[in-house]
């Protein structure tokens, strides 16, 4: 596929998620010029300070190119001598399937619904369980009750977490980001992080992206502020540690896990800037495009574009009220997309049930549309009230390539779901 060279607009808005300066008082006029030693924070050894270029897409100016310059209190390759150790996947994350490298596993074409995953004791990585995957993306759930005992770098893909239940903190080398209900939290591949719950448990919907970094969809005639704006994107505020001790960083690469051991805290970034950093966006800041005359398809709710998939946010919106206008989606057969919906909160407008934490998987190959009871419910309510809001928050992922299911997904499957359209 031919790639377009990046334009100024690409870099500043559509692809870069914009530039951020968290240099924290370091005096340096440009990348590759080391900070003035007099501007270093107390306790930092000038001899040890390094600039680390944190980048993706190499040095080629494709739309995926992005860079941050991290100023670290220690050299990047400063692990302990003999401090690298291969770990067994069964011990680290036994049910995490790295879709990019996993063989397809197709189990037939029918509508599928998966019950909410049980809350498991343990931390976010060991409890990360994949439901569906292809070579572009893997979708799963992580529930956790305790903090991760190590830091983690995912070299295979970007991690997108959607916080369904609970609160906590995502510690990163760029600084911390709060985990609260309704937040999408994007961790670019390779970013060091650790998930720490602040509530009895966290329930996270997880997406692993193997392609280029997310794009903000082109919102065309609706303008740059649709359907969310820069100010809704929050990057971490720098926080670092110079403490010493025994620190472990687990790296996932090619679906394998390797531990690195350091004598210093790995969040030792004393300043950074650039256009590549973790961020969070709350689904409540997504503003839907609506029409009173025609049901607007989910493309109007597209929040992130990936290679081979889209992430769409369903949020509260007024029902269509024009005469004969359908207040729910039309029957559809989309033959070049598989469709997954994660039900977080509220009543989904076209489904007869939308229990929190459940997930539906509609592969290409069959027709579906509103459940009869959902259509009746919407029509009757509109008749009675004239107009009303559909209330709820739901995440949809549509993929270009067919999705495979995992054996773990089958343990959660509601086998009667295909009959839910029948009276």
Cβ distance to Fe ion smaller for residue 148 or 341: 341
Minimum CB separation of residue 296 from Fe ion in Å reads 14
Which H, E and C letters describe 18-51, residue by residue? CCEEECCCCCCCCCCCCCCHHHCCCCCCCCCCEE
Instruction: Give the angle subtended at the CA of 121 by the CAs of 153 and 176, to the nearest 5°.
Output: 40
In the set 282, 339, 360, 393, which binds Fe ion (CB under 5 A)? Answer: 339
Minimum CB separation of residue 114 from Fe ion in Å reads 16
Cβ distance to Fe ion smaller for residue 194 or 317: 317
Minimum CB separation of residue 360 from Fe ion in Å reads 9
Contact 314, 298 (CB under 8 A): yes
Minimum CB separation of residue 71 from Fe ion in Å reads 47
Cβ distance to Fe ion smaller for residue 129 or 351: 351
Cβ distance to Fe ion smaller for residue 48 or 299: 299
Query: In the complex, which residue's CB is closest to Fe ion?
Result: 339
Minimum CB separation of residue 340 from Fe ion in Å reads 10
Contact 230, 18 (CB under 8 A): yes
Q: What is the DSSP string of 172-236?
A: ETT--EEE-TTEEEEE-TT--EEEEESSS-EEEEEEEE-SSPPB----GGG-TTSS--GGG-BPP
Minimum CB separation of residue 309 from Fe ion in Å reads 15
Q: Which stretch binds Fe ion (CB under 5 A): 13-21, 39-47, 155-163, 337-345?
A: 337-345
Cβ distance to Fe ion smaller for residue 128 or 139: 139
Q: Which residues contact 345 (CB under 8 A, 6 or more apart)?
A: 182, 356, 392, 393, 394
Return d(Cα 390, Cα 397) in angstroms, integer.
Answer: 20
Return d(Cα 146, Cα 197) in angstroms, integer.
Answer: 6
Cβ distance to Fe ion smaller for residue 173 or 339: 339
Binding mask 293-332 for Fe ion (x = CB under 5 A): ----------------------------------------
Residue count at the site for Fe ion (CB under 5 A)?
1
287 burial level (CB within 10 Å; 0-12, 13-18, 19+): middle
Minimum CB separation of residue 298 from Fe ion in Å reads 8
Cβ distance to Fe ion smaller for residue 123 or 377: 377
Residues that bind Fe ion (CB under 5 A): 339
């Amino acid at each position: 596929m031919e790639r377009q060279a990046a334009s100024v607009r690409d870099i500043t808005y559509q692809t870069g998620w914009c530039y951020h300066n968290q240099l924290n008082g370091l005096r340096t006029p440009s990348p590759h010029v080391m900070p003035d030693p007099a501007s270093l924070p107390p306790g930092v050894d000038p001899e040890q300070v390094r600039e680390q270029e944190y980048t993706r897409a190499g040095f080629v100016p494709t739309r995926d190119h992005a860079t941050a310059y991290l100023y670290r209190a220690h050299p990047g390759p400063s692990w302990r001598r003999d401090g690298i150790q291969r770990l067994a996947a069964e011990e680290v994350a036994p049910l995490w399937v790295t879709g990019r490298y996993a063989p397809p596993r197709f189990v037939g074409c029918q509508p599928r619904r998966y019950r909410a995953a049980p809350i498991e004791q343990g931390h976010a990585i060991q409890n990360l369980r994949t439901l569906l995957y292809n070579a572009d993306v893997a979708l799963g759930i992580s529930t956790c009750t305790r903090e991760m005992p190590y830091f983690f770098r995912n070299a295979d893909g970007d991690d997108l977490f959607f916080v369904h239940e609970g609160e906590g903190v995502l510690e990163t080398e760029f600084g911390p980001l709060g985990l609260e209900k309704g937040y999408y939290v994007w961790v670019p591949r390779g970013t060091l992080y650790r998930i720490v719950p602040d509530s009895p448990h966290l329930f996270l919907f997880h997406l692993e992206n193997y392609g280029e970094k997310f794009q903000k969809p082109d919102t065309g005639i609706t303008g740059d502020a649709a359907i969310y704006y820069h100010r809704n994107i929050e990057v971490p505020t720098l926080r670092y540690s110079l403490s010493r001790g025994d620190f472990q960083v687990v790296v996932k690469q090619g679906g394998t896990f390797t531990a690195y051991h350091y004598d210093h805290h790995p969040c030792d970034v004393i300043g950074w800037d650039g256009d590549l950093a973790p961020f969070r966006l709350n689904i409540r800041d997504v503003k839907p495009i609506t029409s009173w005359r025609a049901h607007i398809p989910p493309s109007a709710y597209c929040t992130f574009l990936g290679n081979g998939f889209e992430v769409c946010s369903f949020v509260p919106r007024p029902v269509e009220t024009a005469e004969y206008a359908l207040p729910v989606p039309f029957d559809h057969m989309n033959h070049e997309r598989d469709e997954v919906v994660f039900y977080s909160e509220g009543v989904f407008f076209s489904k007869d049930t939308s229990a929190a934490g459940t997930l539906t998987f509609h592969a290409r190959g069959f027709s579906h549309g509103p459940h009869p009871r959902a259509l009746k419910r919407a029509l009757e309510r509109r008749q009675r009230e004239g107009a009303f809001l559909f209330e709820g928050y739901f995440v949809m992922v549509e993929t270009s390539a067919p999705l495979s299911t995992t054996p773990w997904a089958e343990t959660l499957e509601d086998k009667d779901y295909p009959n839910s359209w029948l009276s």
